[in-house]
Amino acid sequence: MEQEIYLLVLLFAITAVAFICAINSHGVVRTVLSFILATAILITAVFTTLKFQSSKEIARKEAERAKYEEQLKKAEEEARLAAEQKATPDVTADKQYKADLAKIINDGSNLAKAILSVNVDDENADADKLMNRAGGLKGQAGELKKQLDALAKSATDPNCVAARDLVEKAVRSLTVGANYLNLYFKAENSSEEDERYDIFRQNASAARSDFSKASDKLEGK
């Protein structure tokens, strides 16, 4: 680029010298020929300058086009990668989600069994101990629900999604069962005891069944 500019400057310098020579020439023929030569050099200089400007503009547009194509290609590549990432399940995330859900299922199943194992009809059992145990089981059920609520629904595996639905149902039943077990010991009469006994047993049994189904679903059975 700089070399071309130097050549143009040199060409115009030669043009100026040619006109100076034409002005200072003696004789009609020599003067006419000098002016013709100087004019030809001037035309060549102007034509070369215009050509140089045109080539610069073409080069600028070509550079802009190349830059635009590069940006477009980059955008297309990013879109392609994003689409592939969206279409491809995150195996690692699903694996961790499955492990977390499996732990909740295992803890919930054990908790349901613990609720069902409480012998409220044992006349020899310490009433305070039974009430404390019922309160503890209720607290564990509440904690399990918090763990499930904290587990974001991010799974893409259909089995994980189906298992999650069953676990949510089981945890609801478990919470009701644990709550009514706790209320059983606060009943004011035998009628309330019988009602609350049936409710906590039915819900704990339903929870245990749903946890078992969720476990099978999580394993793809």
Amino acid of residue 39 = T
Distance CA 202, CA 177 (A): 7
**Residue 27 pLDDT:** 64
Whether 7 shows a pLDDT value over 70: the answer reads: no
Where are the chain's structural domains? 2-86, 90-218
Was domain 90-218 assigned CATH 1.20.120?
yes
Q: What is the mean pLDDT of the segment spanning 12-28? A: 67
Contact 38, 21 (CB under 8 A): yes
Whether 74 shows a pLDDT value over 80: the answer reads: yes
Q: Which residues contact 14 (CB under 8 A, 6 or more apart)?
A: 41, 45
Distance CA 133, CA 118 (A): 9
**Residue 3 pLDDT:** 63
Q: Which of 36-45, 66-75, 134-143, 165-174 has the lowest mean pLDDT?
A: 36-45
Q: What is the mean pLDDT of the segment spanning 86-98? A: 68
**Residue 111 pLDDT:** 95
Tokens of 155: 């799974």
Mean pLDDT score of the chain: 81
Q: Is 187 helix (H, G, I), strand (E, B) or coil?
A: coil
- pLDDT per residue over 31-52, tens digit each? 666 667 667 777 776 777 777 6
Q: Residue 204's pLDDT band (boundaries 50, 70, 90)? A: very high
Q: How many CB atoms lie within 10 A of CB 76?
A: 10
